[in-house]
């Protein structure tokens, strides 16, 4: 482990906390007009890979931050997909 490994913890905290407001707003309002499905698909895949890398390397900053960020990113992505699916012509938009 390098002498500068401690930099990862504040970086992980800041990037994870920076993502929380976007996820919270999206889940609360279901407003995904400004959300790119392609971007969030890439983000979710990237976070998954960072988590896997952290697990392989035993890097707790990566493990903890990406374990928190992965469900947040995935929930925004799933919300975007659900809204997109429901907004297509002829698609069901609600129950019954």
Structural domain of 47: 35-80
Concatenate the DSSP letters of all residues of 30-86 into one string.
---TT--HHHHHHHHHHHHHHHHHHHHHT-HHHHHHHHHHHHHHHHHHHHHHHHHHH
How confident is the model at residue 89, as a pLDDT?
52
pLDDT in tens, 34-90: 999 999 999 999 999 999 999 999 999 999 999 999 999 999 999 999 999 987 554
Residue 56 lies in a domain: yes
CATH number for position 41: 1.20.1280.290
Residue 75 lies in a domain: yes
SS3 20: helix
Backbone φ and ψ for 11, nearest 5 degrees, come out as: -65, -45
Residue 13 lies in a domain: no
- Please count the structural domains in the chain: 1
Residue 29 lies in a domain: no
Residue 6 lies in a domain: no
Which residue carries 């698909």 as its tokens? 41
- For the whole model, what pTM was predicted? 0.79
């Amino acid at each position: 482990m390098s002498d500068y490994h401690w930099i990862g913890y504040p970086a992980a905290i800041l990037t994870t906390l920076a993502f929380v407001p976007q996820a919270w707003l999206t889940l609360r309002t279901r407003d995904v007009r400004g959300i790119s499905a392609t971007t969030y698909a890439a983000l979710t895949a990237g976070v998954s890979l960072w988590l896997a890398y952290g697990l392989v390397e035993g890097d707790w900053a990566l493990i903890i931050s990406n374990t928190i960020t992965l469900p947040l990113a995935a929930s925004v992505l799933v919300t975007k997909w659900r809204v997109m699916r429901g907004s297509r012509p002829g698609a069901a938009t609600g129950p019954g």
